[in-house]
Amino acid sequence: MTAAARAQHVVLFKFARELTPAEEREMADRIRSWPDSIEGFTGLRFGKDVSGRNGGFSYLLLTEFESEQAHQAYYVQPAHVAFSEFVFGIGCQVIRVDYPLTPGSLIV
């Protein structure tokens, strides 16, 4: 992937137990704060599954970055590091998928 290619980072979150409403709010609030402290987003979404077909992965984080360089810089930002510590501290497992946003990855 070239440095100029936009990138998408998708994370599915699974917890050993149901999160409390306060923990859920904490996750969402931390993510909502990122655009104020982390540069390079072109899209940022977070939500909880409503289908019940998630295999235990109840939350999704969808991020889009203006470049692969912005994507890689995101990982070391203090707000992202603190978020990771928070979710892993309450028993989180994740599935991560990263890919370039290119004409070849666009279906419709």
Pick the closest to residue 59 from 85, 25, 34, 35 (CA basis): 25
Fold annotation for 6-101: Alpha-Beta Plaits (3.30.70)
Tokens found for residue 2? 């070239």
Residues, the chain: 108
| pLDDT(3) > 80 | no
**pLDDT tens per residue, range 60-90:** 999 999 999 999 999 999 999 999 999 999 9
Instruction: Give the pairing of strands 92-101 and 41-48.
Output: unpaired
Q: What is the pTM of this model?
A: 0.90
Give the whole-angstrom CA distance, residue 16 versus residue 88: 11
